Chain A
Amino acid sequence: MATPEAPAASARADRNHGMRIFLIWLPLAVIADILIWFVWKPHMPPGTMTSSAEHQQFDIAFMALLCAPVLLFVWVYAAYALVTWRHRAGDDTDGPPIHGNAKIQATWIGATAVIVLGLFVFGTVELIVPAGAGAGEGPVPIWQPSTPHRLVVQVIGQQWAFSYRFPQFGGMESSELLLPANTTVEFHVTSLDVIHSFWAYQLGVKADANPGVDNVAFTTTKEQLGHFTVRCNELCGLWHGAMFNTGFIVPPGTFQAWARGLQLKEARNGILNELPPYAPTYDPTVVPQLGASIVKIDGITGAAGYYYPPQDPVTP
């Protein structure tokens, strides 16, 4: 060093630098957190259409609240350092030989450990309380909603469409998804061919559709009516990009009328008899004699034993 500072003066200078960084960081962190919680959170995805979506929105906002000060600390510190301690022309000396500082290192390790363990506890609570947080829990779900009154919806993925079966309505099958408001829904997601993933974006539900596996996910709809998007979220071949449709949350009465009506219609025109009986999973090779005639009616492409050959279909 060109001018060795006295230890006391050096310690005072250290404290001044530290204090300045802290004083720049603190208001920025407070402002950022206020903006995140009060301005950004209400607009954060995936919205508040269901209980699981609302929990996910809360989680994302909470973690943003936690991460913003950390990001700001690194940025403020680095910016301060790069400006204050930049190399000045003509100065060819080296910096002070500081090899470390046990107190600072211990503080850093302790602080990051506390944040991380806190996040783990938070994440676990937020996983268990909203009954699996809308994620697929496999065939034997361990976190279940408290109510036994649930609408059971089976989601069947195949290349490249979703179809939905309602066992509480005689196993009726539909290519569109309507859900009643204020109802706990139990999704059973399975696939006929390759891995798909059922992502009902605004519902906050995501569960992989594995062939031969019944993957259960829960959510509870709220008073909010309207449409939601369903997309395939796992690469499943050629028309993966085109595998989406729109669902609706409707008043319970409307839902009942729609579901009963569809059940009666399918009973009348024989579809219910020809469909394989409702089961957690299906093997598309078991009922090969079914197929074309079923597929054409009402656009239903479900568990009728039909799936596209591996070549490009003419239309998705």
Chain B
Amino acid sequence: MAIEAQPGAGRMQPVAGGPGNGRSWWMKPAVHTGIVGGIIGYLVGHWLGNALSYDYAQNALSDTNDVPIVLGYVFGTIGWLAGLGIFNDLGRLMLGHPLRDIEHAPAGGLAKYFRYTLDHKVVGIQYLFGMITYFLTGGLFAMAIRSELLSPTYHLMSSSAYLMVVGEHGTMMMMMMSSVVLGPFGQYFAPLMIGSKRMAFPRIEAIGFWLTPAAYIILLSGLLLQGFPTGWTGYEPLAVQAGPGMDTYFMAFGLMGISMILAGFNIIVTYINYRAPGMRWSRLPMFVWSMFTVSFLQVLAVPVLVAGCYMSLTDRTFQTAFFANQLGGSSYLWENVFWFFGHPEVYILALPGFGVVSEIIPVMCRKPLFGYRTAAAGMIGVALLSFFVWQHHLFDSGINPDMRPLFMLTTELISIPTGFIYLVALGTFWKAKIRFTVPMLFCLAMYFNFLLGGVSGVFLSDVPADTTEHGSFFVMAHFHYTIMGGLIFAFMAGIYYWLPKMMGIKLNERLGRIHFWTMFIFFNSTFLPLFALGMLGMPRRVFEYALNLQPLNVWVSISAFCLGGSLLIFLFNFIMSTLVWREKETGNPWNSRGLEWQVSSPPPPENFEHIPVILSGPYDYGDPDAPPVADLNPPVGVVSAAYAGAGAGLEA
């Protein structure tokens, strides 16, 4: 057990202040050097691409050759990472210099948030701000879509601008949602909740984060290249036919995929190897279970996406024809590859939400979680089944009609483990003392919204009913209910619940309640009518619809603008509370038994002064005989006895 052992500690040279210490600030690697590196890398890549491909035939379908732009993005990303100083230690190793011990470098004020920093708590905060930026950008695109749909024919945007906005909205949101909980809360609380001082691979964790700004910039740069016409699904052969904006989709999604794989590996290894003594599998908090299962999904499903993006990029640059039917490829191949990733992906988005709400409701109900094993089994069941349902996205595609009953069965089966999450919630409410705090309100809203999302999913899983609903606004409403209504509401619950822990600052409760009620009401008034619109025959991603659907669409658009306004309330609260009002919260405001709440807020640099010994489960509320959750100052020798044979220096 590598609890505290520093592999190669002898090679480390302790430094202060992170990489490049001792130089003036603008010489130290940080965001600004990263940008410089990215620009240089892009120019080098673009030049190299032109040099390589000057005599290439042009892409048969789109009349372009995208080698320069793709290589520009590849080298730009490498330059960005190099500029951040991520490869410095590799260089030192190769040159035989001693490594700098940047992992244990003392905290360096605000600057550490703009650097390649290895503390998982810093990475968590970086993710938090990064993902909120992603979310608000994607939200602006949603506002643009709804503005266009105020009229049954195109009026504000040209059809190409509309498609560009639709594609950017979908892709940005999908990229963001996969990391919106796993990034901020997963990275921040993974070690805290299992009694560890660190993540298994801090460097991999930090690289995972620093790939997300690169993906963000690359995706947005698509706006300069007239965007991509395929929406977030990137269907071929339309994607082969599209202009160079399409490359931004494949590059950005691929980079985000790599980031997800790295984060997943890190979390799996951390949970398996870095649990404190006494943190048995049966004592893991539900949030940890959800992160654990999600990480497996990411590690197993996302490589398929990365491979698909890579194949598409070779189609668009080096004239392969994996997906171009006219040249002997198969568009079915992309549909299968994409959805083999895409369906586990939607559970990558659902499970963290389950984890957050299951973590919060026992605290607010002052009761143990009802059916702990059932909840864990539900998450594992959802994760397993999610690999066997992807062809329900292809019910009308004409592929494998004989397999439809099978995929109908697997899709419907997945509602059994999902139902466990509801059983656990309803059981926990029984005879509880429910406190309607802001995080609890968001949790309740999550259960409400996800129920509607899940039940509409039953309609979609049924092949005959799906013939009407497939590809219509019904589907759109369904997955907005599960993803925004589920995951984003859980994310908000997590912010209100954990921000005191992460920043030592409380969000204003009054504004929090206003934010909750406006968001809940306008979310439902935006997305509930979309079920009706889909049933009435409105396909997704259109800018023209039947005239009789205009009143409903106008209603939805106005609700959507109000929903946007509600998020502005949140943004105002978030900025004012963290920057201006700064209402201190150092203790345990929710009186939670969670291990993360047993240390001060924000946690000390090393999380725990000593490795704690876990004495009981995290949800033993109401049991006067239950021991405290952990012994934070275990007697000398207990921990090293627990890890006997794993090496000395464990309790240092």
Residues of A within 8 A of B416 (CB): 109, 112-113, 116
Pick the residue among B325, B366, B430, B536 that contacts A94 (CB under 8 A): B366
Q: What residue of chain A has the Cβ atom nearest to residue B412's Cβ?
A: A116
Q: Inter-chain contact count A-B, CB under 8 Å?
A: 300
**Contact in complex: B431, A95 (CB < 8 Å):** yes
Is A93 part of the contact surface with B, judged by Cβ < 8 Å? yes
Is B627 part of the contact surface with A, judged by Cβ < 8 Å? no
Residues of B within 8 A of A56 (CB): 464-465, 467-468
Q: Which of B490-533 contact A (CB under 8 A)?
A: none
**Contact in complex: B462, A71 (CB < 8 Å):** no
Is B136 part of the contact surface with A, judged by Cβ < 8 Å? no
**Contact in complex: B243, A215 (CB < 8 Å):** no
Interface residues contributed by chain B, number (CB under 8 Å)? 99
**Contact in complex: B455, A134 (CB < 8 Å):** no
Chain B, residues 51-88, CB within 8 Å of chain A (1/0): the string is 00000000001110000000000000000000000000
CA distance in complex: A238, B230 (Å): 10
Please choose the segment from B28-36, B210-218, B401-409 that sits at the chain A interface, where 4 or more of its residues have CB less than 8 A away: B401-409
Question: What is the distance, in angstroms, from B563's C-beta to the closest C-beta of chain A?
Answer: 23
Chain A, residues 175-186, CB within 8 Å of chain B (1/0): the string is 000000000000
Residues of B within 8 A of A120 (CB): 405, 408-409, 412
Q: What residue of chain B has the Cβ atom nearest to residue A196's Cβ?
A: B238
CA distance in complex: A234, B431 (Å): 49
Residues of B within 8 A of A231 (CB): 537, 539, 542
**Contact in complex: B426, A77 (CB < 8 Å):** yes
Known contacts A78-B429, A236-B238; A138/B398 CB under 8 A: yes
Pick the residue among A46, A70, A240 that contacts B537 (CB under 8 A): A46
Residues of B within 8 A of A46 (CB): 468, 537
CA distance in complex: A141, B399 (Å): 10
Is B147 part of the contact surface with A, judged by Cβ < 8 Å? no
Is A60 part of the contact surface with B, judged by Cβ < 8 Å? yes
**Contact in complex: A60, B423 (CB < 8 Å):** no
Residues of B within 8 A of A70 (CB): 455
Please choose the segment from A28-36, A123-131, A150-158, A256-264 that sits at the chain B interface, where 4 or more of its residues have CB less than 8 A away: A123-131
Is B201 part of the contact surface with A, judged by Cβ < 8 Å? no
CA distance in complex: A95, B365 (Å): 7
Known contacts A94-B621, A201-B537, A210-B331; A310/B366 CB under 8 A: no
Please choose the segment from B15-23, B154-162, B571-579 that sits at the chain A interface, where 4 or more of its residues have CB less than 8 A away: B154-162
Question: What is the distance, in angstroms, from B232's C-beta to the closest C-beta of chain A?
Answer: 10
**Contact in complex: B471, A197 (CB < 8 Å):** yes
Q: What residue of chain B has the Cβ atom nearest to residue A201's Cβ?
A: B537
CA distance in complex: A86, B431 (Å): 9
**Contact in complex: B621, A97 (CB < 8 Å):** yes
Known contacts A127-B405, A211-B326; A45/B537 CB under 8 A: yes
Chain A, residues 181-222, CB within 8 Å of chain B (1/0): the string is 000000001000111010101001111101111011000000
Is A82 part of the contact surface with B, judged by Cβ < 8 Å? yes
**Contact in complex: A100, B398 (CB < 8 Å):** no
**Contact in complex: B455, A85 (CB < 8 Å):** no
Is A26 part of the contact surface with B, judged by Cβ < 8 Å? no
Is A101 part of the contact surface with B, judged by Cβ < 8 Å? yes
Please choose the segment from B186-194, B343-351, B370-378 that sits at the chain A interface, where 4 or more of its residues have CB less than 8 A away: B370-378
Is A275 part of the contact surface with B, judged by Cβ < 8 Å? no
Is A223 part of the contact surface with B, judged by Cβ < 8 Å? no
Is B569 part of the contact surface with A, judged by Cβ < 8 Å? no
Question: What is the distance, in angstroms, from B461's C-beta to the closest C-beta of chain A?
Answer: 8
CA distance in complex: A71, B468 (Å): 22
Residues of A within 8 A of B331 (CB): 194-195, 210-211
Known contacts A81-B426, A241-B541; A112/B415 CB under 8 A: yes
Known contacts A78-B444, A100-B374; A238/B464 CB under 8 A: no
**Contact in complex: A97, B163 (CB < 8 Å):** no
**Contact in complex: B241, A45 (CB < 8 Å):** no
**Contact in complex: A59, B431 (CB < 8 Å):** no
Known contacts A133-B463, A210-B398, A211-B331; A237/B238 CB under 8 A: yes
Question: What is the distance, in angstroms, from B169's C-beta to the closest C-beta of chain A?
Answer: 13
**Contact in complex: A213, B431 (CB < 8 Å):** no
Is A99 part of the contact surface with B, judged by Cβ < 8 Å? yes
Is A304 part of the contact surface with B, judged by Cβ < 8 Å? no
**Contact in complex: B241, A237 (CB < 8 Å):** yes
**Contact in complex: B541, A94 (CB < 8 Å):** no
Residues of B within 8 A of A67 (CB): 455, 458-459
Is A139 part of the contact surface with B, judged by Cβ < 8 Å? yes
**Contact in complex: B374, A105 (CB < 8 Å):** yes
Chain A, residues 223-263, CB within 8 Å of chain B (1/0): the string is 00000010111111111111010000000000000000000
Pick the residue among B231, B237, B623 that contacts A211 (CB under 8 A): B237
**Contact in complex: A60, B419 (CB < 8 Å):** no
CA distance in complex: A86, B432 (Å): 7
Question: What is the distance, in angstroms, from B196's C-beta to the closest C-beta of chain A?
Answer: 26
Q: What residue of chain A has the Cβ atom nearest to residue B469's Cβ?
A: A60
Chain A, residues 87-114, CB within 8 Å of chain B (1/0): the string is 1100101111111110011001100110
Residues of B within 8 A of A104 (CB): 423, 427
Is B24 part of the contact surface with A, judged by Cβ < 8 Å? no
Is B447 part of the contact surface with A, judged by Cβ < 8 Å? yes
**Contact in complex: B374, A135 (CB < 8 Å):** no
Is B229 part of the contact surface with A, judged by Cβ < 8 Å? yes
**Contact in complex: A233, B429 (CB < 8 Å):** no
CA distance in complex: A233, B537 (Å): 10
**Contact in complex: B467, A238 (CB < 8 Å):** no
CA distance in complex: A130, B154 (Å): 38
**Contact in complex: A59, B462 (CB < 8 Å):** yes
Question: What is the distance, in angstroms, from B159's C-beta to the closest C-beta of chain A?
Answer: 5
**Contact in complex: B412, A136 (CB < 8 Å):** no
Is A267 part of the contact surface with B, judged by Cβ < 8 Å? no
**Contact in complex: B423, A208 (CB < 8 Å):** no
**Contact in complex: B539, A82 (CB < 8 Å):** no
**Contact in complex: B471, A199 (CB < 8 Å):** yes
CA distance in complex: A132, B561 (Å): 41
Q: Which of B595-652 contact A (CB under 8 A)?
A: 620-623, 626
Residues of B within 8 A of A126 (CB): 462-464
Pick the residue among B326, B366, B408 that contacts A123 (CB under 8 A): B408
Residues of A within 8 A of B540 (CB): 235
Is B564 part of the contact surface with A, judged by Cβ < 8 Å? no
Can you list 18 contacts pairing A with B, beta carbon distance less than 8 Å? Answer: A1-B622, A56-B467, A60-B459, A74-B422, A74-B447, A98-B368, A100-B427, A104-B427, A105-B427, A127-B464, A133-B467, A135-B396, A135-B401, A195-B238, A206-B467, A232-B539, A233-B472, A235-B163
**Extra contacts besides A87-B436, A98-B368, A112-B415 (17): CB < 8 Å:** A17-B431, A82-B429, A85-B434, A87-B433, A87-B435, A93-B366, A105-B371, A124-B405, A136-B397, A193-B237, A211-B237, A211-B326, A212-B326, A233-B472, A235-B235, A310-B242, A312-B160
A-B residue pairs, 3 tightest by C-beta: A215-B398, A94-B622, A241-B542
